[in-house]
Structure 1
């Protein structure tokens, strides 16, 4: 994890100063003026430091055989950025693809970092006259559907949090919120006690760019929160001023992003689920709500905290059974072939002795109704609270958290 970002305080970080002055000032502009999150600012910062290292080697400012990670990204001034050409940018994109093995999405983000940086230098602070990235477009992205868990796999994951954790109430609650609310990892880790309103069944979240939104709680979330908060608030040694919702058992402080990822990965492994990350739980919540909860795309956009509906549209993919059901619901899907008559020209080849009247249409296939899991939109994905209450309080688990 980065030495800059503070995992326990996702909105904070150490000063960004290990780069050229123009880059440092640009990142501060992103956070203070443009209102970008610490995570976004850090990503752009890393991208621009990487470009600085590439350009130093390309221009011969360091030995040709220097490892990229060993090149000091500092020491480049505004005149240097003015000397960068379109050819330099293309060579950088080629380097990312061929030598670094970047996916198209990663390459596009690094190009976006350069676009933003040069737009800042040209249009915001007027330090440069020309933008070498202006006419360069990102690579065409592959349209890959988001990977998500089925409802059955989600239930298996919830069950595994009860057997693979030293703090099952906490881990079950976190996974329940991921699966039902579609919140981001940083949003869950950054939650404070005063963000929860159990009386009105809602949680206040702060998403990307410090955008605030309210997420409503279904029955599964309410039950999971009550069980966990009952344990959390009676923990011995917990300081009254600790405001984080999710805390570690040993240190009694806000849990980190990395620790949540470790816990979720462990629970997934125990449930036999491979190839899924913590962020896939957000995909799961969005997909299940769209497919089975009768949620329209604009409502889903608001719930997920997306700025643009085009981002939300990746969740509108349909499962095979939905496509099949749509075809079966076509009003023309039950129309039978009319019998031959004197007014119909029948050009069908018939075997000897067979007439058009003898050629009966196939028996009509009745559509099998596709059931969504009942009550999912209202009750949410969760386990029976009586089962959870019976689970022993396992203090000796698989690692301190």
Structure 2
């Protein structure tokens, strides 16, 4: 199991006792099919909803664990509308449309389970009336819209190589007047260029980069073995290929990993850091990698660039040379619907190619 999944499983187990018994039963039912990370988000969404029910006087329960099935069964449609308004208009922590859609979907899953799957001792549904079945959840993520938001905000063509080169050399020239920044650059430039180059030559997610161990790397065959998002088989790691361009950066970083970061033999992480005041290297965090890419992106003149946009950059470049099915597999998408984003992103390039063919 990945580091993140282990952490989320622990938090999930800590939170479940504060949930009603029927939510605990639902989580147990979903556990074989969904990751601990997804289920933890479900429980957080239920915490929010149950807290709102009690605050609005729609339940007399003293705590979330005391919420009853009758509380859910007797909800009116205007209560659901009120909760949606609460999520979108509250003064603190207002949610985006995507977040609201996700929270309502989590509730629909729970209500569906209670009304269609779970049974009492007499074989009747636990929930006799499902108010959430009436709630229409509009699809927010349309590939064409996502592509429109990404256009001009990813690396294209030669920029993929240029960005890695900038991390390795250019950034140092830009900050050489700042002793602290220059020292950090000299310490980490090979590692940072390696991470950026690996994402730009494989399309890995930041979580996959963070969770990777030394024995997950097969340098000779240009292969990495990773726990893919959404794959709940905790015994299987998916093989993911990377391009030749990333191989040299990996070899250089590996030659420095132990000596530069004083990495102990017990540390299995592929990418490590040596925090200030620490005597030895340890696994990098997701937040550290995200902050690192943003730091270089700003100096590179692409302030909107993030780790995930590096993944989008690879995917767009890869899709131009391969079909949608190969791109789906390389990125670890659950369906080609998600991969359609790159078809829309490459529309301009494809149209230019048609014109060139016509002109010739």
Shorter-chain TM-score: what band? Answer: 0.7 to 0.9
Which aligned pairs between 1:77-116 and structure 2 lie closer than 5 A?
Answer: 77-99=68-90, 101-116=94-109
Which aligned pairs between 1:269-308 and structure 2 lie closer than 5 A?
Answer: 269-291=298-320, 294-308=321-335
Partner of 2:157: 151
Contact kept, 8 Å, 1:207 with 1:305, in 2: the verdict is yes
Q: Which runs of 5+ in 2 are unaligned?
A: 120-125, 173-180
Residue 10 to residue 224, structure 1, CA distance change in 2 (3 Å) = farther
TM-score normalised by the chain length of structure 1: 0.70
In the aligned structure 2, how far is the partner of 1:129 from the partner of 1:234?
Answer: 64
Residue 73 to residue 224, structure 1, CA distance change in 2 (3 Å) = farther
Tell me the number of residue pairs that the alignment of Structure 1 and Structure 2 aligns: 316
Partner of 1:190: 211
| Distance apart, 1:12 and its partner CA | 4.5
In the aligned structure 1, how far is the partner of 2:334 from the partner of 2:226?
Answer: 15
In the aligned structure 1, how far is the partner of 2:292 from the partner of 2:7?
Answer: 18
TM-score normalised by the chain length of structure 2: 0.78
Which aligned pairs between 1:207-226 and structure 2 lie closer than 5 A?
Answer: 207-210=228-231, 212-226=237-251
Residue 139 to residue 102, structure 1, CA distance change in 2 (3 Å) = farther
In the aligned structure 1, how far is the partner of 2:27 from the partner of 2:3?
Answer: 16
| Higher Rg of the two aligned structures | 1
Contact kept, 8 Å, 2:197 with 2:246, in 1: the verdict is yes
Ranked by relative contact order (alpha carbons within 8 Å, sequence separation 6 or more), the top structure is 1
Partner secondary structure for residue 42 of structure 1? helix
Partner of 1:385: none
Q: Which runs of 5+ in 1 are unaligned?
A: 63-70, 331-365, 368-401
Partner of 1:313: 340
Contact kept, 8 Å, 1:202 with 1:217, in 2: the verdict is yes
Partner of 1:395: none
Residue 110 to residue 285, structure 1, CA distance change in 2 (3 Å) = same
Partner of 2:110: 117
Partner of 2:131: 132
In the aligned structure 2, how far is the partner of 1:189 from the partner of 1:199?
Answer: 21
